Amino acid sequence: MEIWILSDDQVPAPGLLVVQRRGSGTGLGYCGLIENSTGNTEEPELAFEFLQEFWNRGYATESGAAVIDRARTLGYPGLASTVRAWNTASLRVLEKLGFVNTGVHEHDEMHGDSLLLRKSL
């Protein structure tokens, strides 16, 4: 396993946040904003990942909605997200959060095509 820490000036605010269960403090995964892969600093990318034992309990959707609210407050005009076309769960989360497929996709023979979605704030 590889662990790395990004300093505040390397990630757009509010950065990547650890998601914990209220009360117990159990770490469930992370959710937050990362740099836009196309270099568009106005529109960072929403990213999330959860431990498999906690999948399908609404955590990605709930934490994604909180990050979107924060991004809106911070004044971003929109958010992007890139996701593999085969990643049905992630696409469903983004759909529930109001992201729409832009039709832009990047072909990747090895990992599967990547789709670009976006949401106006």
Ligand X SMILES: CC(C)(COP(=O)(O)OP(=O)(O)OC[C@H]1O[C@@H](n2cnc3c(N)ncnc32)[C@H](O)[C@@H]1OP(=O)(O)O)[C@@H](O)C(=O)NCCC(=O)NCCS
Please report, as ranges, the residues that interact with ligand X according to CB under 6 A.
48-50, 55-61, 83, 87-90, 92-93
Query: Sign (positive/negative) of CA torsion 49, 38, 121, 4?
Result: positive
State which amino acid sits at residue 119.
K
**C-beta closer to ligand X: residue 48 or 76:** 48
Radius of gyration of the chain (CA): 14
Which contiguous run of DSSP H or E holds residue 103? strand 100-106
The least distance separating ligand X from the CB of residue 112, rounded to whole angstroms, comes to: 11
**C-beta closer to ligand X: residue 55 or 102:** 55
The least distance separating ligand X from the CB of residue 52, rounded to whole angstroms, comes to: 7
